Amino acid sequence: MECVTKIKDSAEVLMDYGSGALSAARVAEVDRHIEDCEACRQLFAAQRALWLEMDQLAAPEVSGNFDARLYARIAEEDAAPAWRRWTRRLFAPAVPVAIWKPAVSLAATCAVLTVGLMVRTPGASEKVQQQVRADHAVDIEQVADALDDLEMLSPGSAM
């Protein structure tokens, strides 16, 4: 047998070996390999522990009238009007909190942003307008000097 570290199918062979699904010849081959290979021996020991744990698990007991209750519930659902089944599936999903929680968070965030954008601080716009005027203030003397310079540079002017 090839080692698990070399061939992918060898891990499946070890799983089949642990579950008892191999032929006698193949079991003998795997036994010889496990004696020589430490990696496969450790993998098989881990699988054996897992198989033992799984063997100890017991299926839960099911009540005697489980089938009757299940079929009655299915029949009740089939007998309901189509609009009721549709609304039940639409408004009562299996995990209602998981579906509605993001929508509520999004709506709350939008409401806060809307209120924040609509509320205006008194006097804020007047302060902004004053700042804009101060930044763009025109000096009359500069304008007069610029006009004099332009007049001097124009071709038809007399010096």
Which mean pLDDT values do the consecutive 10-residue runs of the chain (159 residues) have? 58 77 85 84 83 82 88 89 80 62 81 79 65 70 77 64
Domain limits for position 97: 71-107
Q: Do residues 52 and 13 both lie within one domain? A: yes
Phi-psi region of 58 (alpha: psi -120 to 50; beta: other; left: phi over 0): beta
Nearest to 42 by CA among 68, 14, 23: 14
The Cα-based distances of 40 to 84, 86, 128, 156 in angstroms read 59, 55, 77, 104
- Tokens representing 113 are 């942003």
Q: Do residues 23 and 48 both lie within one domain? A: yes
Please give the Cα distance from 67 to 60 (Å, whole number). 15
Residue 96, domain member (yes or no) = yes
**pTM (predicted TM-score):** 0.34
Number of domains in the chain: 2
Nearest to 11 by CA among 53, 40, 45, 54: 40
Residue 129, domain member (yes or no) = no
Q: Do 2 and 37 touch, CB atoms closer than 8 A?
A: no
The pLDDT of residue 50 is: 82
The pLDDT of residue 145 is: 80
Q: Do residues 13 and 50 both lie within one domain? A: yes
Residue 75, domain member (yes or no) = yes
Residue 81, domain member (yes or no) = yes
The pLDDT of residue 72 is: 93
